[in-house]
Amino acid sequence: MIFVAGSANLDFVVRAAHIPAPGETVLGRGFKTYPGGKGANQAVAAARAGAVPTHMLLALGDDAYAVPLEASLHVAGVQRHVVRVADQATGTAFICVSDDAENAITVAPGANLALRAADLPALAGFSHLLLQLETPVPTVTAYARAARAQGVKVVLNAAPAQHLDAELLALLDMLIVNQGELALLAGHQGSIAECLARIAVPCVVVTLGAHGCCARCDGVILTQPAFAVKSIDSTGAGDTFCGVLVAALSRGSGLEQALRQAGAAGALACTRPGAQSSIPTQAEVSGFLARQPEATPAQTAALRTYGGFDA
C-alpha cells in the first residue's frame, strides 16, 4: 500500500499561443478547471496504476473548490484522510498552457499550508510514503521521520524547487527531481552525473522531459529514453511519473521496469489536457508499452552522454 501526503489544488487553466512574458497580456482561447495539486495528482496516478491500494492525507478549505478535488480522488479509488480548514480557501493553481505544450504555473497554497505533523496517521501496512513540497517543509520532514521510524520507505518529489537541509535528505530512500531541481539541490550547474555525485540519497531519479529519465541507485546508473508522443499539455506529467513509479515499486517491480512504466505513463499524460484528467490507467500504459520497441543501444548511449555518465 502507498500513502501520499501532500497538496490538492483546483487548477484554473487557460490555453494560449504562448506563455506571457513579464508585463505581457496574451489572449487565451479556452478556459477550464481541473482537479490538481502535486500530492493529489500523484495519489491518483498511483491508484490508477492498479493493484496497489492508495491513501492520501490532504487539507481542504470548507468551500466549493474542495468538492471536485474530493470527487476526483474518490473516483480514482484513493482513500482520503481530509483535514478540513475553516479559515483557509482550498488550494488553487493558475496555469497557462501554450500551443507547444509548455506551461507556466502559479500556486496559491491556501489550506495546503495547514497540514501539521500530528495529522499523519499510523502507517502500519504501507510500503511507501510519497511526499512533495507544496506543503510546509517542516511538516514534510516530520512525516518523513515518522515513516522512517515505522519502517516505511520515504520518497520525496522535491518540487516545487527549493533548497533542502541535510536533515530531510538523510531521511529519504528515494528522491525524484527534474534537471533544474537536481542542480538546485546539488548547488552545481555541471552535468547530471556531477550533480548526482553531490546528493547524499541512496536512490535519486531524474526526469529529463523529452530526453527520458535516469536514476542513480546504490551506485548503479539506469537510463530510460523518452517515448515519442504528440504532446498537447505537459501539466501533471511529472506527477504521473512519480505516482506510477512508486506504485510499480510497491508492487515489487525492479527499478528498471518501474522507470519504463513511469516514463510511459508520463508520456501518455502529455497527450491529454489537464492534470488528473490526463493520467492513464494501467491498462492504457500496458497497451502503450506493448507497442513500443525496447530502447536501442544508440538511444541508451545518447542519454548516457547527455547526462555526462560516460565522461
User: Which residues are the active-site residues?
Assistant: 239
Place of cell 506551461: 103
Rounded Cα distance, 29 and 32, in Å: 11
Q: Are 14 and 30 contacting, i.e. CB atoms less than 8 angstroms apart?
A: yes
Rounded Cα distance, 246 and 302, in Å: 26
Rounded Cα distance, 169 and 105, in Å: 26
Which residues are paired to 204 by β-bridges? 175, 216
Other CB atoms within 10 A of residue 266 CB: 32
C-alpha cell at 102: 509548455
Residue 172 Cα distances to 3, 101, 185, angstroms: 15, 32, 14
- Going by C-alpha positions, the residue among 144, 165, 163, 145 that lies closest to residue 155 is 144
Q: Are 163 and 183 contacting, i.e. CB atoms less than 8 angstroms apart?
A: no
- Going by C-alpha positions, the residue among 118, 115, 96 that lies closest to residue 31 is 96
